[in-house]
């Protein structure tokens, strides 16, 4: 039982980690598109965010998984399940992170940009050296909520056949006719969320020198 749950937990951690690695930086890019002065880019990103936030993650996974065959006629192998799952998760969480970034960027006083311009900073230097560190401090609680939600959302990977921890616990419950695997899985999810909350709390304290 423990071995199967441990194997499933490793898969859950992979989904979690790869999603964050892809969606956190992409969220910044999409947020800039959302704030772009160029109307077509702004409208495309708005439409993307609207569609992703307005449809279920499970449906998005089905779309990514079945699209190669039904749209392009490409047959995919068994290994594509995991790839499709990661792509769908990244697409989904990028949209949510982008909106969080956007709210943080828009909350920054215009005086910050004007002061940087006076000091001779370029636009990219202003954003990465002055604005972004302060934005991260402001959005960290909201980002933390999404990151914790992601821990639990990894259980949806079963919908495209990825055997993560929830899938393994269901199989164990069915074969052994006991609720213990569910209880252990729940405890693991909870402890994982506690560890993330602890890390985020430490990060907030370290960023405390950025006072509003």
Measured distance CA(143)–CA(189) in Å, rounded: 18
Tokens of 28: 């910044």
User: What confidence score (pLDDT) does residue 209 get?
Assistant: 56
User: What confidence score (pLDDT) does residue 72 get?
Assistant: 83
Tens digit of each residue's pLDDT, the chain (212 residues): 788 899 999 999 999 999 999 999 999 999 999 999 899 999 999 999 999 999 999 999 999 999 988 888 888 877 899 999 999 999 999 999 999 999 988 888 877 777 777 778 887 888 878 888 888 888 888 999 999 999 999 999 999 989 899 999 999 998 888 899 999 999 999 999 999 999 988 888 877 655 55
Q: Which CATH architecture group holds 2-209?
A: Orthogonal Bundle (1.10)
Measured distance CA(24)–CA(176) in Å, rounded: 40
Measured distance CA(147)–CA(59) in Å, rounded: 20
What does the domain layout of the chain look like in residue ranges? 2-209
User: What confidence score (pLDDT) does residue 211 get?
Assistant: 52
Please say whether the beta carbons of 34 and 201 come within 8 A.
Answer: no
Tokens of 134: 């302060």
Burial of 62 (0-12, 13-18, 19+ CB in 10 A): middle
Phi-psi region of 76 (alpha: psi -120 to 50; beta: other; left: phi over 0): beta
User: What confidence score (pLDDT) does residue 136 get?
Assistant: 83
């Amino acid at each position: 039982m423990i071995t199967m749950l441990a194997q499933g937990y490793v898969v859950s951690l992979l989904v979690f980690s790869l999603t964050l690695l892809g969606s956190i930086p992409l969220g910044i890019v999409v947020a800039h598109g959302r704030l772009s002065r160029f109307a077509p880019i702004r409208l495309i990103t708005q439409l993307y965010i609207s569609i992703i936030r307005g449809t279920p993650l499970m449906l998005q996974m089905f779309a990514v998984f079945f699209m190669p065959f039904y749209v392009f006629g490409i047959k995919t192998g068994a290994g594509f399940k995991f790839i499709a799952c990661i792509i769908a998760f990244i697409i989904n969480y990028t949209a949510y992170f982008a909106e969080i970034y956007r709210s943080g960027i828009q909350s920054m006083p215009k005086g910050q940009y004007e002061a940087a311009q006076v000091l001779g900073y370029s636009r990219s230097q202003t954003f990465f050296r002055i604005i972004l560190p302060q934005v991260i401090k402001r959005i960290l609680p909201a980002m933390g909520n999404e990151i914790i939600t992601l821990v639990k959302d990894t259980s949806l990977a079963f919908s495209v056949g990825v055997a993560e921890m929830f899938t393994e616990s269901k199989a164990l419950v069915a074969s052994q006719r006991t609720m213990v695997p569910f209880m252990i899985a729940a405890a693991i999810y909870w402890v994982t969320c506690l560890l993330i909350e602890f890390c985020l709390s430490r990060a907030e304290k370290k960023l405390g020198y950025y006072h509003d």
